[in-house]
Structure 1
C-alpha cells in the first residue's frame, strides 16, 4: 500500500491553489452527517485542516479528487433512484489510510448503487490513520488494525441500522463495499464485529455492527507470504463476500484476493471471486476497454443471487 500512496501523491501533486484550500462537499441536496455526537474517540493531531485536492493526472480519462486531514468523520446518505430494493451499502474509499479517493472510490460507487435501487452511505473516515505512515519505514508492519478508520466504520454500520426505518432500509440487508485500503476495512468489519473498538455513546451503538454482505474490491493488507493476516479472523459467521482483483495489480498483488477468498471458502462462507488478467489498481467503476470494467454487473448478479436485491 505504500506504493499506492506514492502513486496517488504523484498524481495529485500538481493542483490548483484553489483546490487545496477547499474542503470536499457532496453534490447539492446531500448533507454530510457527523457520525459522532460529541468528542471523536482517539482523536490525534493532523498536519493542518481538512483539504481537498483535485489531480491533474487522469484515471480513465478523468481527474480524481482526494480528501485528507479528516478529523471529523461524516457519512453522506444517497437514497436510491427509482424503485427502492431495501438494501443499503456503506462505501469505504481507499487511499492507504492517508487520503480518501472520495470520488473514484466513493461518490461514483454511490452513483452506481443508487441507480440500482440501493441506498448508498458514503463514509468519510479519519485519515491519516495510524499505524499507517508512508512518510517513513518506521511503522511496525503492514497488517495492523487501523483503529480510527475501523471505529468509524463500525459506528456507521450501527447508525445505518438504527435509522433503517427512517431511511427505508431493510436492517437485515446492510452491506459494506470498499476499495484498496477500504477493502481491508471491509474484511475487518466482516470479521471483527463482535468487538466494538470504542465505548458506546448512544442508542445506535446497541445495534449489530455485523454487515449482512460485503464486497472487497482490489483489497490490501490481507495476505503476506501466502498467509492470511491474523487481524482478519475469518469464521463461518463472516458475511457473504464478493472479491475482485486484477492479476497485474502491482500495488497490492493478486494474492490479497486469493488468500482471503481461500479463507472464506475454507470457513464455509458463501464467496465469489473474480480475477482478471489486466486492470492494475485503483480503477474504481470507471469504464475502460478492459474486460474488468464490467465488474459492477457481476456484483449486481451476485447481490441478486444472495437475496439482497430482487
Structure 2
C-alpha cells in the first residue's frame, strides 16, 4: 500500500469541496512563483478538494489533487514570537496532499508555540515514480517540481523575514510521509540548482536550519540502502526523525537508514521509534503512546535553540 492509497482511502465516499483549496478565514494564500512555475508538472484535470467520511483521530481528512499552481499560506504566531519559522510539507504519495491532517493541524500546534507556520501546497502529481524499487530513477534537476517548490518556499520565507518577523537563521522544514522525503531531499540538495532563478528571491539560501521527518518514505532502496538522491553530508541540518515499527506503508527502515546516514556524517540527529502507530496519524489523538510525539518535537526544538524551553 502506498501513501497515495492511504490518502485515497481516507477520502473515499467523499464530498466535493471548492475547486481550489483555501485556508480558513484570516489566512491568505500567496503564489510561490511570479509566473509559470519552472519544471511544470502535468495534471489530468483541474485542482480538486475532497473531504472524506473516514475519520482519523475523530475527524475526516481533506485531500487536494491536481495542484499545478503551488502556494504558501502563512500562519503567524499566536504565542510569544520565537522568530522561528517552519515550512510544513504534507504527504500524499506525490499524488495528492493531506492538507489538514498533515498541514493545518500542524499549524494549529506550532502557532501557539510562537512559531510562524508556512504551509506549502506543492505541485502534485509529480513526475513518474518507480514504487517497486522505492527510489527515484530520474534526474532531480530535470523533473522535480515538488523539490523546486520546497526550495522556493524556503527562499521566500527568508526573503520576507523582516516583514514576517522571522529570524532567517531559524527556518526549518517539517514533513510527513512523501513530505518527509521532501524534508530529507531539501536538507541534502540545497546546494543543487533544481531550477533556473526567476527573481532576486532565488539568491536566498534554500538550506533549512533544522528538519523534522515524520514517518518519512522513499528514503531507501530495497529498504536497506540510502536513496542515492539523498546525499547526506556534514552540512545537513540537525534532524528529528519519528516512525512507528508497524508502519505498513513505508516501513520503519526508512527512519533507521536515514538516521544511520546522519550519524555517520556527524549530523546532530534524534530518532524516536514506537512499536505501534501505523502511518498517516498526523497530530490527531489516538490511544497509542506515539500520539504524544509533538511533546518530543517541542523538547528537541528547544534543545537546539529554536524555541523556548517549557517551564
Range with greater deviation from structure 2 (64-73 or 54-63): 54-63
CA RMSD of aligned residues (A): 1.3
Aligned to 2:229: 231
Shift of 1:229: 0.6
Structure 2, gaps ≥5 residues long:
none
Alignment of 1:49-68 (within 5 A): 49-68=46-65
Secondary structure of residue in 1 paired with 2:54: coil
Alignment of 1:12-27 (within 5 A): 12-16=11-15, 18-19=16-17, 22-27=19-24
What do residues 207-234 of structure 1 show as CA deviations (whole Å, max 9, x unaligned)? 1100000000000000133111111010
Question: For residues 139 and 274 of structure 1, what CA distance do their matches in structure 2 show?
Answer: 26
Range with greater deviation from structure 2 (2-11 or 183-192): 2-11
- Paired residues of 1:243 and 1:274 also in contact (CA < 8 A): yes
Normalising by structure 1, we get a TM-score of 0.95
Shift of 1:13: 2.5
Aligned to 2:2: 3
1:122 to 119, 124, 149: 119
Structure 1, gaps ≥5 residues long:
133-137
Question: For residues 35 and 66 of structure 1, what CA distance do their matches in structure 2 show?
Answer: 20
Shift of 1:235: 0.5
Do structure 1's residue 107 and structure 2's residue 104 form an aligned pair? yes
Question: For residues 4 and 44 of structure 1, what CA distance do their matches in structure 2 show?
Answer: 20
Question: For residues 122 and 133 of structure 2, what CA distance do their matches in structure 1 show?
Answer: 21
Question: For residues 112 and 248 of structure 1, what CA distance do their matches in structure 2 show?
Answer: 25
Aligned to 2:45: 48
Aligned to 2:243: 245
Which aligned runs of 4 or more in structure 1 are off by greater than 2 angstroms?
A: 138-142
- Paired residues of 1:213 and 1:240 also in contact (CA < 8 A): yes
Question: For residues 122 and 293 of structure 1, what CA distance do their matches in structure 2 show?
Answer: 22
Question: For residues 112 and 152 of structure 2, what CA distance do their matches in structure 1 show?
Answer: 26
Shift of 1:176: 0.2
Do structure 1's residue 28 and structure 2's residue 43 form an aligned pair? no
Aligned residue pairs, count: 302
- Paired residues of 2:213 and 2:239 also in contact (CA < 8 A): yes
- Paired residues of 1:154 and 1:196 also in contact (CA < 8 A): no
Secondary structure of residue in 1 paired with 2:13: coil
Aligned to 2:284: 286
